[in-house]
Structure 1
């Protein structure tokens, strides 16, 4: 086939999705479409269902921002635990690098929220308006009662999905079993309603209006993925050596008789692509790895009685015949994979160990700046403090304290038997520290609070200790 002959076919492929016009992908069916559906179902079951799960009389996962507590089953995190958020972000970052180096953009094609909600919106399009050709015909038709009815039905369904998505998102931050009835009764809090409305609006905008534009122009991941890709990274590729020269033929034509490659130039791989690219033009940053083109091509190969795999998940090294698709070790045993995997393992282990060995009691000592020092009824110098005691566990805790720093130093404000702090609560307690004037001359003197805490009902030998430094102002 000459270059002159290739040009018209290339133009024909590109014009399937004219630039600037909305992409209407054809519905792909096959093993990867079923896998995407399974992942979509799993992720959305978690997102929509988790807020409704109860645990010990409260929402199992609840990010209570006003109360400054994050509840995750038996774990209660407080602002002092924000360090673990950095650890989680590191695990996610190294996990993404490691996964991308091995498997390319499989995250984008199957589990990315943008892909998931685009898939949901496309499913609604297909359900109401029909497949690609029917949607294109409807777009070109004049406005009439039929078109208005179809469009209105679609928009109502999309609005319902977007609205419930916004409500569910807000339900991760306010108790959803209280929020939903209050919302429909008109008594829900303004902040929660605004959060639900904003998230619903962005679901509509990004999932229905912008769709592939987010992946093409807004997502930074597509731009820096090349730093993690190499010739052993799993990507979706067209086997040019097998497919070229491409061209139409009769279905009854025997493979190899026509002098053409296996690609019959049906353009189905382009029609099903949600971002509107032609995978036969080589690896492109726009490709999200969803494998819709693989399903479409495999279906055509089956009809032609050709082997599957003209378009498939593979690597550049396989296409260059350096090894085969079955040689998984070649892909996994690589320095870059080991490096990212090592960092991922260290970050994950550090995060898990930190979470399970963290202090469940956090105490902040705040000096009363209103009265730096005063003389009490006993003639002793006295400083006032406020103890912010945060119980980051589900169980009530008994807290007692002593203070050290002078030969004669006393702590008042806490019961001798200890103060009970309810589970998951922040309690603020005013206390006073006093000493003899001869021990505390003018200026600041270091002192130390020693707190002991244990679960209510537990023996004293199970108590844990926290030491916090403070200062005592003398005169």
Structure 2
């Protein structure tokens, strides 16, 4: 007898469902953790814009006025270096978590996963279980099917619109945003962004789903670079599970020559990415743990030990002791802590005041008929706090000079004011044609808010 085998036939190819993925609803330990985290993150996402601090919205990214306000601190374009620090700290923190726990961010905290499973929850409540949804989609269109589809998509659209409006509340004052929404007075720009974000949410969570993770998101492509032999991943114990096969609950798997895997396929049915974890590590896996909950339920029903699918490292699968402290893990943690420490130090020493001296280059100085030299200046003063402050301006570096400034200088929080200043002195009192001078701007309400700015005094 002759067998005609090709080399590729001997390779186990990763399983991936074709067509739409019908996610089976699953309960369990990891699903419960995800649900609590999802509620916490969604509550923070929706509720933070409503939090007030010192009489104004605590978090507001006012793009039109180029101001970012975060709990009493106003960041201006000049402070965007802090944004680079946030991204760097976030990146190294993500690398640290990935090296330690794999793609746990994707499975438990990523907005795409949270909204996708939230949309699936609505779908399950309206159209039924996984098998019922498959059967319904294969059935011809009738009144019941149309009614369920319209109800589902209506709720999806409402959720998408509410999500987009909640997101827009970080950029438009929340009370203004919702007041204008109820009175249908949104501007064209606000309407455009709200409906664009709503459309993206509706498309991503309702239709693209796992394709955003496997195709659009670059993280799934380079995450393996951060893995090592001690990274915890969702893994299938092939030595214990194979040879897989169906059996009755009372059957002894050893007498049948089978492993503990009963080939129920539930691990595939609950997977948001539609993969079969029994075929090894695949980049589509988001470490959500749903397959672990499904497998543990099956093991309980058959009276087998839990953990056929579990979070394990490559070293643990080989029966070795996992290393808790690794150079890569410590390195990522150290860099994250270092950047956070630098940012904290910068914020503690940050002066909530910005001062610039503007000179008229066409007329650096003027000399009148009495021999008095006059230099005009314009001080650009930015109040980086969120309260109105009164400021005083002093001058040093030129003895005998007369400084003319406005008497009452008050600047609202987050505002800039141009202050004209004139410095005059008799030419006989000048030792040099160019002398360095200093302007001191101080807040009357807070002695700690004071800034010096150097400039030059010119004469003939």
TM-score for both structures, normalised by structure 2:
0.91
Distance (whole Å) between structure 1 residues aligned to residue 37 and residue 283 of structure 2: 23
SS at match of 2:272: coil
**Deviation, structure 1 residue 446:** 5.6
Aligned to 2:213: 215
The corresponding residue for 2:306 is 308
Give the match for residue 414 of structure 2: 424
Task: Map Cα deviations across residues 115-152 of structure 1 (whole Å, 9 max, x no partner).
Answer: 11111111121111112111111211112221111111
Instruction: Give the Cα separation in 1 of the matches to 2:219 and 2:435.
Output: 51
Is the 1:448–1:467 Cα contact (8 Å) retained in structure 2?
A: no
Give the structure 2 partner of residue 326 of structure 1.
none
CA-CA distance at 1:255 after TM superposition: 4.3
Residues 221/438 of structure 1: CA separation in 2 closer, same or farther (3 Å cut): farther
Of 272, 276, 295, the residue aligned with 1:274 is 272
The answer to whether the aligner puts 1:393 opposite 2:385 as a matched pair is yes
User: What is the CA–CA distance in structure 2 between the aligned matches of 1:338 and 1:235, rounded to whole Å?
Assistant: 19
Structure 1 alignment gaps of length 5 or more = 324-329
Aligned to 1:327: none
1:103–1:235 CA contact under 8 A, matched in 2: yes
Q: Secondary structure, in 3 states, of the residue corresponding to 1:411?
A: strand
Contact between 1:255 and 1:306, CA under 8 Å: does it hold in 2? no
Give the distance between the partners of 1:59 and 1:378, measured in 2 at CA: 55
Q: Which residue in 2 is equivalent to 1:433? A: 423
1:119 to 104, 117, 125: 117
Q: In the alignment, is residue 346 of structure 1 matched against residue 338 of structure 2?
A: yes
Tell me the residue number matched to 2:222.
224
Matches within 5 A, 1:82-231: 82-231=80-229
Point out the more displaced range, 302-311 or 69-78: 69-78
229 and 375 in structure 1: CA distance in 2 versus 1, 3 angstrom threshold: same
Question: What are the ranges of 5 or more consecutive residues in structure 2 without an aligned counterpart?
Answer: none
Distance 1:125 1:464, change over 3 A: closer
Q: Secondary structure at the match of 1:46?
A: helix
The structural deviation recorded for 1:264 is 0.9
Q: Is the 8 A contact 1:233 1:331 kept in 2?
A: no
Structure 1 range deviating more: 364-373 or 145-154: 364-373
- The C-alpha deviation readout for 1:19-66, integer Å capped at 9, x for no partner, is xx1111111211111111111101100001111122222212111222
Aligned-pair distance for 1:449?
A: 2.9
The one of 446, 453, 456 equivalent to 1:468 is 453
Per the alignment, do residues 471 and 33 of structure 1 end up closer, same or farther by CA in structure 2, a change over 3 Å counting? same
Stretch moving more, 60-69 or 37-46: 60-69
Q: Does 2:232 align with 1:247?
A: no
In the TM superposition, residue 162 of structure 1 has moved relative to its aligned partner by 0.5
CA contact (8 A) 1:179 1:188 kept: yes
What secondary structure, in the 3-state scheme, does the structure 2 residue paired with 1:332 have? coil
Deviations 1:263-294 (A, max 9, x none): 01111111111111110111111101111111
56-65 vs 288-297, greater mean Cα deviation: 56-65
* Cα separation, 2, equivalents of 1:379 and 1:186: 65
The TM-score, its normalising length taken from structure 1, stands at 0.88
The 1:45–1:381 alpha-carbon spacing in structure 2 relative to 1, beyond 3 Å, is same
Are 1:447 and 2:414 an aligned pair? no
Residues 13-92 of structure 1: pairs in structure 2 closer than 5 A: 14=15, 17-18=17-18, 21-92=19-90
Question: Which residue of structure 2 lines up, in the alignment, with residue 261 of structure 1?
Answer: 259
In structure 2, relative to structure 1, the CA distance for the partners of 1:301 and 1:464 (3 Å cut) is same
Q: Write the distance in 1 (CA, Å) between the matches of 2:417 and 2:57.
A: 22
Equivalents in 1 of 2:439, 2:246: separation in Å? Answer: 83
Q: What is the alpha-carbon distance in structure 1 between the residues aligned to residue 232 and residue 242 of structure 2?
A: 22
Q: 1:33 to 1:412 in 2, by over 3 A?
A: same
- TM superposition shift of 1:230: 0.5
Select between 280-289 and 465-474 the one with higher mean Cα deviation.
465-474
Bigger shift: residues 302-311 or 419-428: 419-428
Render the CA deviation track for 1:86-117: whole Å, top value 9, x for unaligned: 11111101111111111111000010111111
Structure 1 residues 440 and 183, CA gap change in structure 2 (3 angstroms): farther
**Structure 1: how far apart are the matches of 2:237 and 2:171?**
49
Q: Render the CA deviation track for 1:229-261: whole Å, top value 9, x for unaligned.
A: 001001000001110111111111134332110
* Residue pair 2:437, 2:457 contacting (<8 A) in 1 also: no
**Aligned alpha-carbon RMSD (Å):** 2.5
SS where residue 245 of structure 1 aligns? coil
Deviations for 1:376-432, whole angstroms, at most 9, x for unmatched residues?
6865333433322111223443322233454544432232xx633333332222222
Alignment: residue pair count: 453
Which of 343, 353, 373 aligns to 1:381? It is 373
Change (3 A) 1:380 1:313: same
Q: Is the 8 A contact 2:63 2:171 kept in 1?
A: yes
